[in-house]
Structure 1
Amino acid sequence: MKLRIGDNVKVNTGSNKGKTGKIQKVVEDKRKVVVEGINVYKKHTRKNMGGGIVEKTFPLDVSKVSLVCPKCNQTARIGLTIGSDGKKIRTCRKCKQPLN
């Protein structure tokens, strides 16, 4: 998966369509990401568990989000290029600039 913690992403589908946020957690095996402030639901807990209403952020599928490039500030796909030292570098497909 090419998305990393700290990347800014924009939601493409669903009730949160158009919202942007920063990735807090990546679940590789299920291909899901947890985005800060998006897909937040309120969960009512019982008194024996401390009680009250707790807000919980649920993960989104990777196919529902797209990366926002920090250089060109547009949503773009991520490409991989091989650097001179042989390491893979993530790049923006629109502006061809390397991502951090």
Structure 2
Amino acid sequence: MQNVPSTRLQSKLKKGDEVIVISGKDKGKSGKIISVITATNRVLVEGVKLVKKHLSAQKAMARQQQPGVIQKETSIAVSNVMLKDPKTGKPTRVGYRVEADGSKVRVAKASGTVIDTVKKSSSDNKKSAAKAPKAKAQNEPKTSKSKSK
């Protein structure tokens, strides 16, 4: 049984990022993220953690591929990779910063280099609209409760 974390963490890495493996048998290798698996906090990195898979003739026919041995990437824990700093080429942590124009950007912590801008999703807009306070009607009469004996 595979060790699955009980909570999902929001990853600061996303598809297409250039990352460096910081621990494990492929330590020091770098590659581009093919996909991010948020349910298990894992990523698929191009050319990293390659395994050989034996493809039988029956399965190959079903997939319309050649039978034989193929190499494919397997997932690696998000904690074992770090973003490659675009300026220095070294591993760096990722942070967020709000620019003067109000846009949110991802930043390399080591050099302060802007990686890219964060796009607002439609769910973020719905959340902000729900949090907005409702305006009270100005024509509402004020009522005071008085105790009568």
Q: TM-score, normalised by structure 1?
A: 0.90
Q: Deviations over 1:43-83 (max 9, x none)?
A: 11222112311212101110000111111222110011112
Alignment of 1:36-55 (within 5 A): 36-50=46-60, 51-55=67-71
- SS at 1:99 equivalent: strand
Residue 40 (structure 2) aligned to one of 30, 40, 44 = 30
Alignment of 1:14-93 (within 5 A): 14-50=24-60, 51-93=67-109
Larger RCO of the pair (alpha carbons < 8 Å, separation 6+) = 1
Tell me which structure has the larger Cα radius of gyration.
2
- SS at 2:114 equivalent: coil
Residue pair 2:86, 2:113 contacting (<8 A) in 1 also: no
Structure with the larger helix share = 2
* Residue 87 of structure 1: how far off its partner (Å): 3.1
Q: Which runs of 5+ in 1 are unaligned?
A: none
Question: Structure 1's 88 and 11: CA in aligned 2 closer, same or farther, altered over 3 A?
Answer: same
Letter in 2 for 1:82: V
Structure with the larger strand share = 1
Q: Which runs of 5+ in 2 are unaligned?
A: 1-10, 61-66, 117-149
- SS at 2:58 equivalent: helix
* Residue 11 of structure 1: how far off its partner (Å): 0.6
Q: TM-score, normalised by structure 2?
A: 0.63
* Identity across matched positions, percent: 35
Q: How many angstroms apart in 2 are the aligned matches of 1:8 and 1:92?
A: 12
- SS at 1:63 equivalent: helix
- SS at 1:66 equivalent: strand
- SS at 2:20 equivalent: strand
